[in-house]
Structure 1
Amino acid sequence: MAVHPQSGPVPVAVGRRPEPVHTVAVYAFDGMAPFELGVVVEVFGLARPELSGLLAAPWYDVRVCADEPGTPLNAVGGFSLTARHGLDDLAAADTVMVVAVPNPFGGAVSPGLVAALRTAHERGARIVSICSGAFALAAAGLLDGLEATTHWRYADLLQQRHPAVRVNPDVLYVDNGTVLTSAGSAAGIDLCLYLVRRDHGARVANTVARRFVVPPHRDGGQAQFIEAAVTPVAAEDDGVARSMQWALDQLAGPLTVPLLARAARMSERSYLRHFTARNGTSPMRWVTAQRVAASLPLLESPEGTVEEIAAAVGFESAATFRHHFGRTMRVSPTAYRRTFGRGAA
């Protein structure tokens, strides 16, 4: 049986009570850089007419919160903003996001923020950090005994200051269920899209990513640091992009490094070096991630068995598919379908 991505709106059961709006609270403070705050507001707070007919639950309600609501907060770049909500609202939110702390190298974390994070966590809220925001979660004791990440330049400091935390400086984000951490800046986009995928499924997350003009999914285990080009990109580097597009067009077929290098018109050794420098991961790990991503909308459809979906996206067997899917998504394909499949409760 052939398995193909489905189109059309996600059905909503008739007679069900409307689901409550999921509130996302993000912490703001005087002197903050605006990028990460803007990412959160852009992903969760922007009106999204492009999702009409795709959502089975309401979109998010974003609340920017501060220690003293109504007080202007200076931002890097010479402007100010005013948060309408205080820490009580942050403590009561469904998802609480700390995108930075004022001074990870020496400043104390706001005691009010620490108390609000503990209250939210005790309620069962989802607690999320981006970049140096991990220092606030660690100060609240929410990362003790857990793996966590932060911007690579803060990783050693976080480990020294909070030895009970298992700091991993080499990943984009870490999901511990109700507590999630991400690396700096752009990794926050990856984590926000990952949360949308968890809440609303792959089709919605892909639509949001398309408007954001970013890849819909980067594996959280991908390396933070990618070698940056400091000279004009050589002509043969264009072959890497050509090989990636070629691979995406035939994920169901056999894909090996020799085949990818041939599509790029490069030697295998040169291809491996240029691919890793550009993408921060190996070619076959990238292929595996693309196959897992391609399987998500298929699992959300009621059609096709796990075995058929595994074959449709290029895995040699269902067992191989389950192994790589579990490593990437932290759940089995069956559990993902049970949670995100159309018609799921």
Structure 2
Amino acid sequence: MTEQTDRSAPETAGRPTMKDVAALAGVGLKTVSRVVNGEPGVHESTAARVHQAIDQLGFRRNDGARLLRQGRHTSSVGLILEDVADPFYSLLTRAVEEVARAHGSLLFTGSSAEDPSRERELALAFCARRVDGLVIVPTAADHGYLAAEVAAGTAVVTVDRTLPGLDVDTVLTDNPGGTRTGVEHLLRQGHRRVGYLGDAPDIFTAAERLRGYQGAMADAGCPVDPAWVSMGRPEPVGLRLALDRMLTGPRPVTALVCGNNRTTVAVLRELAALRRSPALVGFDDFELADLLAVPVTVVAQDPARLGRMAADLLFRRLAGERGPAQRIELPTQLIPRGSGELPVR
């Protein structure tokens, strides 16, 4: 076969096929099949052209093609979250798993560790194995890599965070409303200097919770000193410096709001070392929070309900439900236990 001199990528609808690769590389379909499956009998330069076409098109071998040709689903779904070891995500995972099990589906789970490249790798690996759908706690800023999968019929639902760039079903907690509730609770106890310690600001939930804190303080007529806000990973050194800055000086804070359970636990450790006890409200409940010397007041979300609703949406889409993408926000619950009710000192 004569080598093509102009191999612009063909227009494809959805996921690229071996036929698209063959057209772009200027070879036969059987040749592409041999290269993809690692079979012998293909000249080295021809194989290189095929691999170049595969990379250019973003083609991935469909490990479930036989099942799809038979008109059957693979009866499996994928779940990608930040960290499966986090108690919050453990509860969410269990809820998704129970819904999947009720629908006769197997659940594959992976942790992105807040690494966009790892998220992409996991998502595409699940899709290559032809999962029927994905539930994702997004990390990456750009999810264009999933566009072909969605166009090809893979159902996608995002949970806990939005999925920029794709119009898919989303289940969230009312994050700004939750922190607003926590701040307003402290304001009712007489506090006017309230500090905020949140996660990295590029995380959707962290930014939304910070927005709720800022809105509540502004509505109460309480100007926020920049020294009262700290956004970043809950690492001991950084938290210690932030707390020292907030709790000393001419206008120290008298109360704190923590943006997630890991930050709350880390802050409690640092406060114990500093022998300080400002009023405190944490976002997210955590184990033993009610058994500490001063039980911790929290704004609780419901991770099990988040997971259950996301999985329900996914299986409704798999069952053929159509219509515009849904965005569902679940309310939080303030649980007063003692730390958020401490008076101004």
The alignment's TM-score, normalised by the length of structure 2, stands at 0.25
Structure with more relative contact order (C-alpha pairs < 8 Å, separation 6 or more)? 2
**Structure of greater Rg:** 2
Where is the strand percentage greater, Structure 1 or Structure 2? 2
TM-score if structure 1 supplies the norm length?
0.25
